[in-house]
Amino acid sequence: MRILRNYILKEITPPFILALVVITFSFLVGNIVKLADFVINKGVELHYVWELFIYLIPRLLTFAIPMGVLTAILIGFGRLSSDNEIIAMRATGINIYAISMPAIVFGLFLSVLSIPLHDRIVPVAHYKARMLIKEVGLRHPAAYLEAGTFIKGFKDYILFIHDIKYGKDTTEFKNIRIYQPQKDGPTRTVVAKSGELVSMPDKNTIRLKLIEGTSEEPNPTNPKHFYKLNFKEYYISLTLDDSTMDESGKKTKEMNFDELLKVANELEEKSIDPTPLVRRFHRGIASSFASFAFVLIGIPLAIGTRRSEKSIGIGLAFVLATVYWLLLAFGQILATKDIIPIWLAMWFANIVLIFVGIILTYFTVRR
């Protein structure tokens, strides 16, 4: 049985490693282009970009590992089946369960290994990346801004810049609109023909100098009404928004499992709904076991299709992965409508794939 185990592992390990590298790189391509733009056009130091690149990888691995496992199973067992090696093994008295066991253990091992990835590594990477982006935004304010989009990363303000021109020493903005929503009144609006940023890292703020424009200032006697004033120069201090953080200074996606449960319990004691925290906790564990679910459904599918072509295996892997994420989304919808508990919603996709995999394996054994 040791020979069989080593043979099966040798069949699935190389395609797993190759798929893991290819899938991770594919996810990184779009980010690489954006990071390169930071260096070439926005003057951000290379070491900042390299650090951001490193912090992206853990999150991508949470998708790449299950996809790599599924691809490896479909390619490996597909080749064994197409070359009639599965039939030969069964003819010697080795059943499907014994043939599948090395792959099942392989998937289970990667699932257990993925728990600390979701629990510790990804939250830390998220937190460090956000702190780094914040530092880059303060030292290189232009890198934080993008033309033609609503920028909501600043506290109390929403910015829209029609055009950004990057120069050697300065960055110039054209046609700027700044919106400041009011709790008990209309939104305050500032419009300027041009502007530039002045960074103040020590004060955790960015100062925006506006040139030639109009500003709506509140009426002292009636704050719900505004005066429209013209200006030649106008300064606004922008503070990076951390409003989605909890009291510990971390966002929900930056908390490990223990912190999620601790904050959820504290919120529950205050009669505050902790559903988002509980959902993220269960999703982290359930996502870790996606590799195991993919192995159980991938083996009978690969044996049944009897195709050794890598393109077939990769295509089928993407189809199954799409089905998995749709099931996950459907489970969340069921939880939102209180049809099923949160933990079951997060495990819904895994349960469906495992159940279907067991049924398919049963019929494969009986053939």
Question: Over the stretch 135-190, which tens digit does the pLDDT of each residue have?
Answer: 776 666 666 667 777 777 777 888 888 887 765 556 678 888 888 887 766 777 88
Give the integer Cα–Cα distance in Å for 218 and 224: 7
Query: In terms of DSSP bridges, do strands 222-239 and 185-200 run parallel, antiparallel, or are they unpaired?
Result: unpaired
Q: How far apart are the first and last CA of the chain?
A: 23
Q: What is the mean pLDDT of residues 294-318?
A: 80
pTM: 0.74
pLDDT classification of 317: cutoffs 50, 70, 90: confident
Q: What does pLDDT average to over the chain?
A: 82
Give the integer Cα–Cα distance in Å for 14 and 365: 27
> Is the pLDDT assigned to residue 245 strictly greater than 60?
no
Q: Where are the alpha helices (DSSP H) in the chain?
A: 2-40, 46-82, 85-91, 96-116, 122-139, 257-269, 275-288, 290-305, 310-336, 342-366
Q: Which residue has the higher pLDDT, 73 or 200?
A: 73
Give the integer Cα–Cα distance in Å for 174 and 196: 9
Which tokens belong to 114?
């993925």
> Is the pLDDT assigned to residue 329 strictly greater than 80?
yes
The residues spanned by each domain of the chain are 2-138+258-366, 156-239
Residue type, 28: L
Q: Judging by beta carbons within 10 Å of its beta carbon (0-12, 13-18, 19+), is residue 81 exposed, middle or buried?
A: buried
pLDDT in tens, 9-20: 888 999 999 999
Q: How many other CB atoms sit within 10 Å of the CB of residue 66?
A: 28
pLDDT in tens, 67-95: 999 999 999 888 888 888 888 888 888 88
Which tokens belong to 144?
């934080």
> Is the pLDDT assigned to residue 41 strictly greater than 60?
no
Helix (H) or strand (E) holding 192: strand 185-200
Give the integer Cα–Cα distance in Å for 136 and 128: 12
Q: 152 with 158: CB under 8 angstroms? A: yes
Predicted pLDDT of residue 144? 60
Predicted pLDDT of residue 246? 47
